[in-house]
Amino acid sequence: MLRNISILFRFFNKNKDIKRVLDIFKHWKNTIDKIPENTTQNKKILLIRLDDIGDYLLFRNSFYAYKHSKKYADYTITLLGNSAWRDLYTHLDSNNANNTIWVNKNDYFNKPEYRLQLWETLRKEGFEIVICPSRSRPLVLDDLCMLAANAKTNIAAHNNFNIIEWNTISDNLYSQLYTETTLNHEFFYNQQFSNWCCETNLSLERPEIKTITPITKSNTILCFIGASKKSKRWPPEKWTELLHLIKKETNYTCVLAGGKDEISIAEKINASLGFNDITGKATLPQMIDYINNAAVVITHDTMAAHLAASLAIPTIIITNGDNFYRFTDYKTANIANVSTVYPNMFLKKWKRNNYLPFKNYEAVTKDIATIKPLDIYTELKKYLDVTK
């Protein structure tokens, strides 16, 4: 009953959000329309990728195609990227673009002067082509930045939001639209879009990060205890119970990890355990080394899952089922060494759908809390047997 009330409450809020976003889009677009025109410079591409760290990790192997394809070989490519993963890009992928423009999304949404300066910068560059590879493209972010660039050719995919009003407006802004709508893992979608856009034939089997740092495997289980939304977070007391079980039943040690916002949560989880805690202390490049040296990674549906999968480290994802086919269903995507544990509420619906992908599953905070520590430990033992 409470679950249904929560979903109904979301439905009413969603309708308010639809109107609010459309009003903001109209208002901000009017501002962009007043920016002076600029001369288009041939052979200049703006590649817009403003989504979060995990999205970038599942895109970065396809990024290679844009600069190195025959189609765009003589183009100058500028990446418009999310500053949240700037260090990761600099560490791994700086050869894939000629120039970069970084966007602080908090400043973009909250500071009109910052937003206008960015739009004016994009207009002055005189891009010939804008490419927006993101599968879910925010009207007031990616699309408005595309309009600010004012290019001759604008390329994107059919927008994947579950809000028809947004998608219709968004899709109509582009001169070339990728219309493939297969419900597949984000890594393979990015590959398909890149092949279509760049006329290439990438055929990659899994996300991959190539590191040159020697790997020294340890008996460490790296536990990422944070997530972007409350409905994606396993309760702290469940983590504590799991870590006590690991400490009691195995000769492995655990390390807690996460962002600065999770420091107090990590302290609560670790209060009676005394494990090493690096929460809020490691940069993204440093996190690559921590993960690379771990025996197993346990994480929510967050960037750590995709970082570990890219390093081929055994990974267990604790998730509520939201957008499962895009981000957490590695098994159906035939990407090995990644296990996913879902709540029973989600599994029942998935079973009714014959274990095929489906959109718009509505998870609530209570769902992920129903996952038992023993469920995670059972999955963990499968990897401990082969990593000791």
**pLDDT at site 222:** 97
**329-352 as b/e: b if 16+ CB within 10 A:** bbeebebebbbbbbbebbeeebee
Q: What is the pTM of this model?
A: 0.92
**pLDDT at site 210:** 87
In the chain, which residues fall in CATH 3.40.50.2000? 30-198, 220-387
3-state DSSP assignment of residue 17 = helix
The CATH superfamily label for domain 220-387 reads Glycogen Phosphorylase B; (3.40.50.2000)
338-359: per-residue pLDDT in tens? Answer: 999 999 999 999 999 999 999 8
CB count in 10 Å sphere of residue 319: 27
Eight-class DSSP state of 351: H
53-92: per-residue pLDDT in tens? Answer: 999 999 999 999 999 999 999 999 999 999 999 999 999 9
Distance of alpha carbon 16 from alpha carbon 299, whole angstroms: 33
Q: Which residues contact 201 (CB under 8 A, 6 or more apart)?
A: 195
**pLDDT at site 8:** 38
Q: Mean pLDDT in runs of 10 for the chain (388 residues)? A: 44 68 96 94 96 97 94 97 97 95 98 98 97 96 98 96 92 96 94 97 94 73 93 96 96 95 95 94 93 96 97 96 96 95 95 93 90 97 71
3-state DSSP assignment of residue 49 = strand
User: What are the DSSP calls for 303-348, one per residue?
Assistant: HHHHHHHHTT--EEEE---TTHHHHT-TTTTT-SSEEEE--HHHHH
CATH tag for 30-198 (out of 2.20.28.120, 3.40.50.300, 3.40.50.2000, 3.40.50.150): 3.40.50.2000
Residue 323 gets the label, from left (phi > 0), alpha (psi -120 to 50) or beta, of left
Percent helix, percent strand, percent coil in the chain, to nearest 5: 50, 15, 35
**pLDDT at site 14:** 58
**pLDDT at site 360:** 83
3-state DSSP assignment of residue 132 = strand
Q: Which residues contact 330 (CB under 8 A, 6 or more apart)?
A: 185, 309, 315, 317, 338, 340
